[in-house]
Amino acid sequence: PSATSLPSVLPDPVDHQLVGHDGKTTLWVVFVIMLIASAVFAAMSWRVPVQKRLFHVITTLITIFAAISYFAMATGHGVSVNHITLRESHDHVPDTFTHIDRQVFWARYVDWSLTTPLLLLDLSLLAGLNGAHILMAIIADVIMILTGLFAAFGSEGTPQKWGWYAIACVAYLVVIWHLAINGRAQVKNKSSKVATFFGSIAGFTLIVWTAYPIVWGIADGARKVSVDGEIIAYAVLDILAKPVFGLWLLLTHARLPETNIDLGGFWSYGAGGE
């Protein structure tokens, strides 16, 4: 064979971007943190009658889902490899190809599609949003997570990846709209202490949540960060968004009786009167 045909005989180079030791350790550590947080939140609910446990139930479920998802990822489940082909054109020789095989932990998106609606429910109930606005915020949120999952597996060099990402960002703006605009307007009907608390915890949520699409863009999108770096970044955000958020919410709920909501009906059915 002539020298020019050699490149096509050699296999294209493949860059394997996989989880390493630090990533694995981080996944296990966060699993344990989520487990402890779930136990603490469940224990905090024992001191209140069942009718008043809605925030406890929602918040404990959030960390339980996260613990399950982190167990999956730490043991090597809930992960797939995204095969990316990068084509390089040259002037006088045939195009060459580089391949990247990067792990995508899809278990995250399963976690987020269940936990972010529950986090929104916590905030919506605190603000006193009506059912219609809660439903729209949650549906926009689920669209955001699922289109984000499609973006994570989108092909390079087609509108797939960044197209899905853009759609997810629009859905995120709808979520923010419901939380920041409608939530803030609605919470004014509650006591000023509740309004102040909602302002703080919703502001915290907005900052933490907005870091997710930024991490995604740098790590998954542009692949400027290793898989381990991505795991560590999401670990920090997940701890802020779930255990820290939950502890703040439940501790404040315990000392601010104005945050109680009258659920009645199904929630208290058969639980006995006052």
Contacts to ligand RET by CB under 6 A: 112, 115-116, 119, 144-145, 148, 151, 165, 168-169, 172, 209, 212-213, 216, 238, 241-242
Nearer to ligand RET among residue 3 and residue 207 (C-beta): 207
Q: Is the separation of the CB atoms in 154 and 160 below 8 Å?
A: yes
Nearest distance in Å: CB 209, ligand RET: 4
Q: How far is the CB of 72 from ligand RET (least distance, A)?
A: 15
d(CA 13, CA 94): 16
Structure tokens at 230: 């991505």
If the CB atoms of residues 165 and 198 are measured against ligand RET, the closer one turns out to be: 165
Residue 106's φ and ψ, nearest 5 degrees, are -75, -15
CA 164 centroid distance within chain: 16
How crowded is residue 53: how many other Cβ atoms within 10 Å of its Cβ? 19
CB 241 to ligand RET: min, Å: 4
Nearest-CB residue for ligand RET:
148
Sign of the alpha-carbon torsion through 248, 254, 259, 264? positive
Q: Give 228 or 238: the residue with its C-beta nearer to ligand RET.
A: 238
> 106 or 197, CB closer to ligand RET?
106
Amino acid at 133: H
Q: How far is the CB of 133 from ligand RET (least distance, A)?
A: 18
